Amino acid sequence: GSDSGSDGGETYTVATDNNFVPFEFLNEDTGKMEGFDMDLIRAIADEAGFQVDIESMKFDGVVTGMQSSRYDIGIAGMTITEEREKTIDFSDPYYDAGLILAVQADNEEIKSEADLAGKKVATRSGTTSETYLKDNHPDAEVVTFPGIVEAYMDLQAGRVDAVMYDVPNVKYYVNNDAKGELKTVGDVLQGEQYGIAFPKGSELVDDVNEALQTLIDNGKYDDIYEEWFGE
């Protein structure tokens, strides 16, 4: 069903990740997708005068869904990379992120990425963390899951030694679900920026960029940011 606050205008399909807190996740009570990205894309739709029909899926499904033009828009904490830009168009960047490691709270062995040789490191399939690990840590054993929660659960159960993933998601998980059980270690490993994704050649890119800029200028972006990342 249509999922925007405004009436009228075209309805565009929006592909999102089914679980990437606090950017997008299912509110079990309302049955609706919520989070920073969800508020942002609904505000952009209101501003630009279109409606959105949100469909959630595994992250790698969002990437392939853009490449095959199956959906009009993708918003999923998706990092803008040169590799993806060959097959996907992106909006202007809307969020600064990066990658970080998490380990069990009592782990004294892994203090940074320098300690990953011979270790089992879990992350999520098709993400920039998977690419980073394969490019920079050939001595680590990389284990990938379609959903990141499985990776965190393996870490909590001691089946893997570390998880590498996006800073805002790791911090959120470490401070909430896994409070006292997991901790982050080392520096932010790779600066990244998230962009809204489109099939290559989409005519929506300019309208979305314009609406995004309006929301930044009029303070609505800050309100949404504050709601999900404020104290």
Residues that bind ligand GLN (CB under 6 A): 17, 20, 59, 76-79, 124, 127-128, 166
Output 21 or 48, the one with its CB closest to ligand GLN: 21
Q: Beta partners for 193?
A: 96
- Rounded to a whole number of angstroms, the minimum distance from the CB of residue 78 to ligand GLN is 4
Tokens standing for residue 172:
């959120």
State the nearest-atom distance from the C-beta of 148 to ligand GLN, in Å: 6
Q: How many CB atoms lie within 10 A of CB 131?
A: 15
Say what the alpha-carbon torsion angle 137, 138, 141, 143 is, to the nearest 10 degrees: 80
Radius of gyration of the chain (CA): 18
Of 158 and 191, nearer to ligand GLN (C-beta) is: 191
Residue with tokens 């960047």: 93
The answer to whether 162 and 146 have CB atoms below 8 angstroms apart is no
State in angstroms the smallest separation of the CB of 81 from ligand GLN. 7
Element (H, E) at 156: helix 148-156
The Cα 182–Cα 178 span in angstroms is 6
Closest distance to ligand GLN from the beta carbon of 123 (Å):
9
In the bound complex, what is the minimum distance in angstroms from residue 77's beta carbon to ligand GLN?
4
Q: Let me know: does 117 contact 139? Beta carbons within 8 Å.
A: yes
**Alpha-carbon span 124 to 143, nearest angstrom:** 8
Q: Give the distance, in angstroms, between the CA of residue 114 and the centroid of all CA atoms in the same chain.
A: 25
- Rank residues 57 and 185 by Cβ distance to ligand GLN and give the closer one: 57
Query: Which residue number, 14 or 48, has a Cβ lying nearer to ligand GLN?
Result: 14
CB of 189 to ligand GLN, least distance (A): 12
**Minimum distance between the CB of residue 153 and ligand GLN, rounded to whole angstroms?**
16
Nearer of residues 51 and 128 to ligand GLN, judged by Cβ: 128
Is the CB of 50 or the CB of 172 nearer to ligand GLN? 172
- Specify burial of residue 148 (Cβ count, 10 A radius: 0-12, 13-18, 19+): buried
Q: Which is nearer to ligand GLN, 51 or 124 (CB)?
A: 124
